[in-house]
Structures are given as C-alpha cells and as structure tokens.
Structure 1
Amino acid sequence: MNIKQYLDSTYLKTASQAGLSETENNIVVRNAIAEAISYGFKLIMIRPDKVALAKEMITKANSSLLIGTVIDFPKGTSAIEIKIKEANEAIADGADDLDFVCNYQAFKNGDVQLIKQEVLIATQIGLANNKTVKWIIEVAALNEKEIIQLSSLIKNVVISNFKEEDYTSVFVKSSTGFYKTQNNLPNGATIPTTIMMLENASPLPIKAAGGVKTYEEAIEMIRLGVKRIGTSSAKAIAKGENTTNKY
C-alpha cells in the first residue's frame, strides 16, 4: 500500500490564526507545498488564495501533486451564489479538488431543500469542469442521526442527478478541523462517525479529515474503507513518526 496516495496534506490556517505575519504564513504555505511535492502525497489542501501559488510551484517541479481548496470555509453558511463564485475562482486558479462546506446549520434547522439545491448546483459545476467535489458535513456539529441523514441526503442527490461513473468524484468529508467543540471533544473524524458515513454515503467515497495523526490511525481508516485522509500530519504519517499537530 502506498499510503502517501491517500493523504491530502493540509494547511488551512490564515496568518492571524497561525499567529504569523502574512509574509511568515506565506513561507509556511510554500514549505507545505514543497513538502507535498517532495514526498509524493496525493494532494495539497490550501486556502483559495494560495491555489495559484501552488499551481505555479507544481508546474515548475513537473509534479503530479493535486491541488485542493476549501469553499465557503469554515462555516458553510453563505448563499449558493457565493459558493459558486468561490468555486469558479478556484477552478480558474488551477484547483483540482473543491471541498465545499455544506450548510450543516441549515440542515440542522430543517432546511433540507437548501442542502439539496447547493449539493446539486455546486456538484454540477465541479463535475462539468472535471474536478473532484467533496462535501464537508462537520460531524462534530451533528448528532448520530444527523450524520446518517446528511450523508444519505448527499448520496441521494448525487445518485438522482449524475451518472454512475461520476460517483467516485463526489466525496462526503467529515470535518473542517476548525469547529470548536465543548469539553475538548474530537472535532474531526472518529471511527464511529467514519463508519456511519461509510454505511450511509456509499457508493460515494469518504474522506476522513481532522484527527488522523499517526500511521496506525491512517491505516485503520483506510481498512475501514476511506479513500482520502485530510491531515496536517502527512509527513509524520508517511514516516511513521508521532506529531503534535491537532488537525
């Protein structure tokens, strides 16, 4: 198994979130991209304003590294028009994967029609441009019933509106890694939430993001059936080392 091809190496902090200047944070982003190229990871996951930089570096290195970015991050509460605008800009800059934050708050409030609309329209845009689309459902904000229902809803929208050959390009993803939980509870993928997603989103693939920090944890997720792992610990996982990174 080439575990590196499951890893979406992730750096999504803004300068202020990282406690750095813009210049310092840009250096961190450049280093993350260079590391992902060097280690042969599947993808580098970065903020939308860094996509063009990644494209430039990857092209210069003649690398096959994919570029992923987040849309309507981290809360997902923007109107579909905003999501579309951000997605089109990311596509123009060279993104390969578009990780949309689902409006999980609207879902919790019972607005199922809004979720169906944004999943349909945004997925259409991604697939029409030959991009991989991922829907972040933010498992830490949902109870078990809601995780099951939202995973199923996304699956049903995709199955009802797209061809079978498209299914592998539309993921359900666990987490942003930025959700604030109470009592220090996990804010990312766990074994129970991942199993629920796998059971209810199939045949759509699953991306486990947040909380996977060791080689053993990554292997366990892969054995469960996840196809991608989002982590800021990709280097440590690939080398079998421990890490203190939280995402």
Structure 2
Amino acid sequence: MTDGTQSRRAEALIARLDLTNLNDDCSEADVAALCGRAETPVGPIAAICIWPAFVGFARRELSARIKVATVVNFPLGADDIDATLAETHKAIADGADEIDLVVAYDRVAEDPGFVEAQVRTIRANCGHAKLKTILETGRLYDESTIRAACHAALAGGADFLKTSTGKVQVNATPASATILLEEIAKAGGTVGLKPAGGIRTFEDADGYLRLAETICGLDYPTPERFRLGVSGVLADLLAVATGTERPGGKAGY
C-alpha cells in the first residue's frame, strides 16, 4: 500500500469513527474534550458515543453533522425491557441520534426470541434514531451462538450489528466481525457493522474496513453503514492521514 493510499484510507476511517468515552469516571469536561476532537484536521468523525447523562450537553456542543450516540442497557445486557425503554425515551428526548443497545446476550442461546422481541420493542421506540445492537460477541463463545444473536437482532429490525461493549475481556475480533458481516450480507447488505473495542492502530482499523469491502462489497462501508467504536486510535489515523510521525505505544478503547 502506497503512502497516498494509506493516507486516503486513514481519512476514510476517521470519517467512520464513533469517538467513544464510556469510562466509569467520565465527566462533562471529558465529553467537552471529546467533542473538541470530533472536528479533525482532515474532517469530522461520524459520531461520538457517550453515557446517556451527557447526551443533551454533547448535542449542544457539536455541529449537526456529527451524530450523538449513546448506550442503553449497558454494559450487562439485562432483560428488564421497561428500564431499557425508559433509558431510550430519555436519550431520544435529550437529542440522541443513535442508540447503542446491549441485547440480553445471556439469553441468546436458550431464548433468541426474547432478544428479537427486545430489539423490536426498542426499535419501535427509537423514532428517527438509528438502533445499533451490541451482541457482546466475546461472551457468546461459539460461532453458532453469534449467528443466532445476529439473526435475532436482524429479525428485530436492528440498523447495525455491533460486536462489543468494550467492557469484557474479548471485544471486537476479525473472526467475530466476519460472522456479523456474513449475516448482514445474507440479509441483503443494508444493515451496518460496528466493531468496537481493541482497535489500536491504523492497521487494525483498516483490516475491518477491508473485511467489510470483501464480504459486503466495495460500496458497502459508507459512514452510514460502517463505524468503528474506538477513541484511542484517532491519533494514529491522523498521523497516517497527514504523513506525520505515528505515536508509539498502544491506543486505548
């Protein structure tokens, strides 16, 4: 890959970032800093992903072209639908553009119908917002259960399949992303993909973009259909995009 090609792909990846802060100690000042990073020297990211408490603040801080995503039923994927509905209604009222729902992943193996109904209920209450379903693939353990989670989420009307919360030991992997993309392709290739957690370098991020291009087609991974849930990788992507020295060490979630 030439330097020019790398630069263009890094810019494309930046435009597909969900810049994320879901740290337990996140403050309004941290969210303000995240919003400040969202307009980069090579263009805006796609969205920021933050705790529900900061949605209203972030929406006021950001230009309309950058989406505000928030999480519900996070991170444990409980099965209390009323509590999740209340979180969702509040987030939408505060100005969320996208809802990242942790499905009841512990129920997938024995009761995928519950997960389908859970997704359908939240989708019906999202209004204009997109619904990204977090499957927590690192806790589903085998391919058949991951595929069952995909089927349930897709049948429930999910707009995106997202791998992970970033809060468990195993988050996004190329293997899990491949499964999600294969199920998206079987369903018509219109649902989005969001790998999240463990994406540390330009090479990591570009690998997921290439998977999406290979499995769902070169025209599939637009910013409306392909996102990366990460924050620490932005510095590396910017260095590649601008041809400057890349930072050492590892980028965080």
TM range (shorter): 0.7 to 0.9
Given residue 140 of structure 1, which amino acid in structure 2 is its aligned partner? G
The TM-score normalised by the length of structure 2 is: 0.80
Distance 1:195 1:76 in 2: 22
Distance 2:13 2:252 in 1: 20
Distance 1:72 1:157 in 2: 16
Residues 84-123 of structure 1 mapped to structure 2, 5 A cutoff = 84-108=85-109, 110-123=110-123
The one-character-per-residue Cα deviations of 1:79-131 (angstroms, maximum 9, x if unpaired) are 111111101100011110100000001223x12221121111111222xx211
Q: Secondary structure at the match of 2:39?
A: helix
Offset of 1:234 from its aligned partner? 4.2
Distance 2:30 2:171 in 1: 23
> Which residue of structure 1 aligns with residue 193 of structure 2?
206
Distance 1:48 1:37 in 2: 21
Distance 2:136 2:236 in 1: 23
Between 230-239 and 74-83, the greater mean CA deviation after superposition: 230-239
The one-character-per-residue Cα deviations of 1:28-80 (angstroms, maximum 9, x if unpaired) are 2211111113451110110000111101111xxx4511100000110111411
Q: Secondary structure at the match of 1:209?
A: coil
Q: Secondary structure at the match of 1:75?
A: coil
Distance 2:108 2:73 in 1: 16
Corresponding residue to 1:192 among 162, 171, 175: 175
Given residue 117 of structure 2, which amino acid in structure 1 is its aligned partner? Q
Distance 1:13 1:54 in 2: 16
Offset of 1:235 from its aligned partner? 2.0
Q: Secondary structure at the match of 2:180?
A: helix
Q: Secondary structure at the match of 1:219?
A: helix
Give the length in aligned residue pairs. Answer: 217
Asked which structure has the greater RCO (Cα within 8 Å, sep 6+), the reply is 2
TM superposition outliers: structure 1 runs of 4+ over 3 Å:
240-243
The one-character-per-residue Cα deviations of 1:196-234 (angstroms, maximum 9, x if unpaired) are 111123332211111111111111111111611100224
Contact residue 201 and residue 251 of structure 2 kept, 8 A: no
> Which residue of structure 2 aligns with residue 163 of structure 1?
none
Distance 2:13 2:113 in 1: 38
> Which residue of structure 1 aligns with residue 162 of structure 2?
173
The TM-score normalised by the length of structure 1 is: 0.82
Percent identity over the alignment is 27
Larger helix fraction of residues: 1
> Which residue of structure 1 aligns with residue 69 of structure 2?
68
Distance 2:57 2:156 in 1: 34
**Structure 2: gaps spanning 5 or more residues:** 1-8, 213-220, 241-245
**Structure 1: gaps spanning 5 or more residues:** 19-24, 159-168, 182-186
Q: Secondary structure at the match of 2:107?
A: helix
Contact residue 7 and residue 234 of structure 1 kept, 8 A: no
Distance 1:82 1:14 in 2: 20
